[in-house]
Amino acid sequence: MGANLFLLAAGLSLIFGVVSIVNFAHASFYMLAAYICYSFTLRFGAEIGYWWGFVLAPIIAGILGGGVERLLFSRVYGRGHYPQIVVAWGLILILNDVFKLLWGREPKLIPMPEILSGGVALLGGTLSYAQIFGICVAAAMALGLYLFLYKTRAGKIVRAAAADPEITDAVGIDVNRLNTAIFAFACWLGGLGGVVAALQKPASLGGDMEIMLTAFIIVIIGGMGSILGSLIGSLIVGVITALGILVLPRFALVFLYILMVLILINRPYGLFGKPELR
């Protein structure tokens, strides 16, 4: 669960850290990719269709995300968070109607490819191959993000834009194009999380808001704009949710709120966030 949540929370945190947008509609791209992947499995079968969806659905989500940033969010930069929230909420409503029109109201569970069927025994339980696959994808993305942000010139530009967009723009970097690219990449990450999670949980109307709430808790715990915080926060939330379901299933979500409040009281900027954000 923590691995799947990381792919969504990392994109959300990246958008906030670089573009300074609180994108409440981020999970809609997560759900969009899951629905598209489902359509690929219907058209080509689970054995081929899922892998086509795994590659193409996040790309489609990323392209759409970049277009949304240019057409909508770029028009409300510098106007505070309220216009951003209004735009994001409108986008959520539109996309949910699109989901309803194209895929109906019933939840859509992606058929399991044969290669991911089954699992391995672990500590008295069973870890499915689909869960192992999700963990591997999340680990690869975490390593890839680290290498990109801290070991490449492009990553240095991204971090510079997050720290001071005015100076970055003054030295010749097109910050507007960079914002679009980061927004699209973050939506691609969210879409990747959607196609991985769809193997274990059906895509459904309203599911984006449910998962978005958890993603925001992760970002608050880890710190806005921190990829490391998103990773650690995702693992913490996954473990606490599992323990809550085991001990007090009806109050599992309450444990997350308690943890979030405790962190906000002691570190309002999160475990790995900075005390002052621009």
- Please state, in angstroms and rounded to a whole number, the distance separating the CA atoms of residues 49 and 46: 5
Q: Is residue 226 part of a domain?
A: no
| Structure confidence at residue 49 (pLDDT) | 93
Q: Is residue 36 part of a domain?
A: yes
- Please state, in angstroms and rounded to a whole number, the distance separating the CA atoms of residues 230 and 235: 9
Nearest CA among 191, 248, 268, 259 for reference residue 34: 191
| Structure confidence at residue 2 (pLDDT) | 87
Q: Is residue 234 part of a domain?
A: no
**Residue 192 domain boundaries:** 2-114+126-203
Q: Is residue 231 part of a domain?
A: no
Number of domains in the chain: 1
Q: Is residue 142 part of a domain?
A: yes
Give the dihedral sign, CA 147/151/156/159.
positive
Q: Is residue 277 part of a domain?
A: no
| Structure confidence at residue 136 (pLDDT) | 95
Nearest CA among 220, 267, 262, 215 for reference residue 241: 215
| Structure confidence at residue 50 (pLDDT) | 94
Q: Is residue 29 part of a domain?
A: yes
Q: Where are the alpha helices (DSSP H) in 107-173?
A: 129-151, 153-163, 165-170
Q: Is residue 257 part of a domain?
A: no
| Structure confidence at residue 278 (pLDDT) | 44
Nearest CA among 198, 155, 188, 181 for reference residue 50: 198
Provide the residue-wise pLDDT of the chain in tens; the chain has 278 residues.
888 889 989 988 888 888 888 788 999 999 999 999 999 999 998 889 999 999 999 999 999 999 999 999 988 887 877 888 899 999 999 999 999 999 998 999 888 899 988 888 887 778 889 999 999 999 999 999 999 998 999 889 998 888 888 888 888 888 889 999 999 999 999 999 999 998 888 888 888 888 888 888 898 898 877 888 999 999 999 899 888 888 887 777 788 888 889 988 888 888 887 765 44
